[in-house]
Amino acid sequence: MFLLAIFGILFLSGCKAEQKCTGNPRMYNGKMCASTTWYIDGHKGACGCGPANGDSQFDWNHSGFVAAASQNMFDGNPSKAWCGQMCGKCVKLTTTGGFVPGQGSSVGAGQSHVFMVSNLCPNEYPNLSWCSQDSRNGYLNNYGYHAHFDLEDGSGQIRSIGWRDHNPEVTYEEVNCDQAHQQDSRTPSYGMYHQCQCGQQGK
Ligand SMILES: *[C@@H]1O[C@H](CO)[C@@H](O)[C@H](O)[C@H]1NC(C)=O
Ligand SMILES: *[C@@H]1O[C@H](CO)[C@@H](O)[C@H](O)[C@H]1NC(C)=O
């Protein structure tokens, strides 16, 4: 009985350890948490990061550290699906060592990369489990996160940093894109963003 209790406690604490972020909304070390996934698409996306006369992407939009943000991160207006206020802004994502049970695995804690928001992960099918943060569910997705970032892996950049398929839990904070670009050229600079249709509109 005693041993069973010990195993039970170990098992339960093992389960809880999968997500390091706790609370409502989930936080870790005083920072806001987000869930992440990866995707590949060849479209210029909701910030217009491709030539105006078509739907292809700029090369950096395909191979750089860019992300589609959940609707509530993309813009405060829940129906804004083009040129959101987050377009061209950068977020530093730092792994917590956690992940959503059944949806990923740990990549270890403390790995940081800076991503420019270049797209929207819409609050609609088939994105509802990750990107459905709205007033009806207390601005949390199915896994309790206030924010979600879907990371573009068009040329294997997410695989190369070891995050692909792990869908790591991260903390996020807004940072300066140019400084981040100087440290790692895979993060687009503001100059690159100004090629985007939304960037040209000063948005
Ligand atoms: C856009 O990205 C695609 C895919 O990487 C590439 O084939 C194309 O040449 C790029 N276009 C521009 C204008 O960068
Ligand atoms: C959102 O839906 C698109 C298909 O429309 C899919 O490619 C992408 O992986 C989905 N992302 C998330 C985070 O649900």
156-186 pLDDT, tens per residue?
A: 999 999 999 999 999 999 999 999 999 999 9
Distance CA 106, CA 189 (A): 29
Q: Strand locations in 16-102, DSSP E? A: 27-28, 31-39, 66-70, 90-99
Residue 9 placed within a domain: no
Q: Which ligand is located closest to the Cα atom of residue 141?
A: 2
What is d(CA 161, CA 113) in angstroms, rounded to the nearest whole number? 9
70 or 9, higher pLDDT = 70
**C-alpha distances out from residue 159 to 5, 131, 144, 162, Å:** 40, 22, 25, 5
- In 122-194, the DSSP E strands lie at 147-152, 168-175
**What is the model's pLDDT at position 169?**
98
Q: For residue 194, tell me if it sits in a domain.
A: yes
Does 18 reside within a domain?
no
pLDDT of amino acid 10: 46
Checking if the pLDDT of 6 tops 50, the result is no
> What's the pLDDT at 5?
52
End-to-end CA distance of the chain: 63
Tell me if the pTM is above 0.95.
no
Token couple for 51? 């030539």
**Domains in the chain: how many in total?**
1
Supply the range of the domain harboring residue 165.
31-200
201 pLDDT higher than 90: no
Model confidence pLDDT, tens digit, residues 109-143: 999 999 999 999 999 999 999 999 999 999 999 99
162 lines ligand 1 (CB under 6 A): no
55 lines ligand 1 (CB under 6 A): no
pLDDT of 55 above 90: no
Is 20 among the domain residues?
no
17: in domain: no
CA–centroid distance, 80 to ligand 2, in Å, is: 18
- What's 78's domain CATH number? 2.40.40.10
Distance 108 CA to ligand 1 centre (A): 33
Instruction: Give the integer Cα–Cα distance in Å for 107 and 89.
Output: 25
Contact 109, 99 (CB under 8 A): no
Q: Does residue 23 fall inside a structural domain?
A: no
If 0-12 CB within 10 Å is exposed, 13-18 middle and 19+ buried, where does residue 41 land? middle
- Closest ligand to C-alpha of residue 71 is 2
Cβ–ligand 2 contact at 37 (below 6 Å): yes
Q: Mean pLDDT throughout 18-28? A: 96
Pick from 145, 150, 151, 152 the residue to mutate for probing ligand 2's pocket: most ligand atoms within 8 Å of its CB: 150
CA–centroid distance, 133 to ligand 2, in Å, is 15
Q: Looking at the domain assignment, is residue 19 inside a domain? A: no
What pLDDT is recorded for position 8? 46
- Tokens standing for residue 72: 């509530």
Residue 74 within a domain: yes
* Res 41: pLDDT: 87
Mean pLDDT of the chain: 91
